[in-house]
Structure 1
Amino acid sequence: MGKTPVYQVIENDIKEKIKKGELNHGDMIHSENELKDMYSVSRMTVRQALNNLVNEGYLYRHKGKGTFVNNIKIEKKMQGLIGFTEEMRRMNKKVRSRILTFEQISADDEVASKLFLETGEEVYFIERIRYGDDIPVLFERLYIPKRIFKDMNQKIMESSFYEYIENTLNIKISHCVQTLEAKAANPRVAEMLEIQKASPVLYMTRNTFLDRGFPFEYVKAYYRADQYRFIQHSVR
């Protein structure tokens, strides 16, 4: 394998500092001349690295002032099944949840169909806001079958539901089926995510299954479009 090009070394160093919190949103990075001296490379090499970081959304330029760290969006990979808590930890972000609603309701036709239940069977209905570094980035409505989780409580949902299933109950999570579309935030969603009404949000539905083949959650999730971007890796 060949040696990593110097411009990529510069890119990776800056990305790593952003991920570790050594560089934060709004911080001005070193000038091209300073970076040229720091890495003992040409100014053209530095410029290539910075251009790539600007194009990828890590940095932005302010004419006449310099180059600054952008507001980095949370990257959610569509091909994996990773919980919110794990996503935030990977990005070194502080994670917390606020439960708005926790109650037992009768499943309507839609929810019953998604969870392989009879219409009218009891499910837990949970509404919660998920925070990354104290910024509300996700508003969720979850439907969970009571027949599978008889001892469900609010404390479990304040942390990681997936970790509870796999580490406490020792049940393996298998796969999920997801849909994703763009929407305008209605008044309630806007209030929960602390954004303007009709702001763009990414609306996802997710049906998640245990390895036994049973669906254990049906989720309607609203992601802040200014904080999230979804990545799909496809192979032909």
Structure 2
Amino acid sequence: MSLPIYIRIHNDIRRKVENNQWQIGSQIPPERELAIQYHVSRMTLRQAIHTLVDEGILDHHIGSGTFVAHRKVQEQMSGITSFTDIMLEQQKIPSSKTISYYTVAPSLSEMEKLHIKQNNRVLRMERIRYGNDVPICFEVATIPSHFVSGLSKDDVSGSLYRVLKEKKHLIPGKARQMFSATLASERIADYLKIKKGDAILYLRQTTALKDGTPFEYVRSQYVGKRFEFYLEK
């Protein structure tokens, strides 16, 4: 099965970064130049760039351009970060608004994180998560399609972990989490009702079942002034 063109561009750019063809901290060529190089529209090129920014491989600086991201210091954590459970523990009513929900071929990063192959399909959904109707985070979740087969959109876009337990008898185990700080883009600021450039806490989480099989890869952008994590050692 052929990968979508923007995924192929995404994978090619990522390989250039990993092979040090584009050095950490260096600015990548402008969108117009890359679109010509890949023989695609700028809209298609932007899909690939946006995905790489979401994954922390590239950084976009408004007014300056797009750069190869610096590697972040990582803090190893274990356990599950369920937005629904966090909100309930804080006596807030959790809710979600689904922005997009579709089945696609996985990107290279998704294949690596979820231990799947190019011919697998994944469900990718974008959601705004709320606590007491206040937007807390914007989330992009990727799940191998076979884990959610037979489940409705309402099931999956609600409390996924709870539905997997109740309807699929799948028990989440450990999660690997990576945190970084960034600034809200115009799009994210609009979704979260904040100002462009406000502080964002970026969480990337890969969650596995009890047997160690990864079933979810999530990229979440939390409003810095509305949410904080803490770590106990």
TM-score (norm 1): 0.64
Q: 2:179 is matched by which residue type in structure 1?
A: L
In the alignment, does 2:121 pair up with 1:122? Answer: yes
Per-residue CA shift, 1:36-92, capped at 9, x if unaligned? xxxxxxxxxxxxxxxxxxxxxxxxxxxxxxxxxxxxxxxxxx654241111111111
| CA positional deviation for 1:167 | 2.2
Partner of 2:155: 156
| Contact 1:181–1:204 under 8 Å retained in 2 | yes
Partner of 1:95: 94
Q: Distance in 2 between matches of 1:203 and 1:152?
A: 28
| Contact 1:79–1:233 under 8 Å retained in 2 | no
Q: Which runs of 4+ in 1 moved over 2 A?
A: none
TM-score (norm 2): 0.64
Extract unaligned runs of 5+ from structure 1: 1-77
Cα 1:79/1:232, change in 2 over 3 Å? farther
| CA positional deviation for 1:153 | 2.9
| Contact 1:96–1:158 under 8 Å retained in 2 | no
Q: 1:114 is matched by which residue type in structure 2?
A: K
| Contact 2:101–2:123 under 8 Å retained in 1 | yes
Per-residue CA shift, 1:75-120, capped at 9, x if unaligned? xxx6542411111111111111111101001101111111111124
| CA positional deviation for 1:155 | 0.3
Cα 1:104/1:223, change in 2 over 3 Å? same
Partner of 1:109: 108
Partner of 1:167: 166
Q: Distance in 1 between matches of 2:210 and 2:222?
A: 27
Percent identical residues: 28
Partner of 2:232: 233
Partner of 1:216: 215
Q: 1:1-236 maps to which residues of 2 (within 5 A)?
A: 80-234=79-233
Q: Distance in 1 between matches of 2:81 and 2:124?
A: 21
| Contact 1:102–1:126 under 8 Å retained in 2 | yes
Length, aligned pairs only = 157
| CA positional deviation for 1:141 | 0.2
| Contact 2:79–2:173 under 8 Å retained in 1 | no
| CA positional deviation for 1:195 | 0.7
RMSD: 1.4
Per-residue CA shift, 1:131-175, capped at 9, x if unaligned? 001100011001100133222432013321010111222221110
Q: 1:198 is matched by which residue type in structure 2?
A: G
1:88 aligned counterpart, secondary structure? helix
| Contact 2:141–2:216 under 8 Å retained in 1 | yes
- Bigger Rg, which one: 1
2:228 aligned counterpart, secondary structure? strand
1:89 aligned counterpart, secondary structure? helix
Cα 1:105/1:177, change in 2 over 3 Å? same
Q: Distance in 2 between matches of 1:177 and 1:152?
A: 25
Q: Distance in 2 between matches of 1:153 and 1:190?
A: 29
| Contact 2:174–2:208 under 8 Å retained in 1 | yes
| CA positional deviation for 1:121 | 2.0
1:86 aligned counterpart, secondary structure? helix
Extract unaligned runs of 5+ from structure 2: 1-76
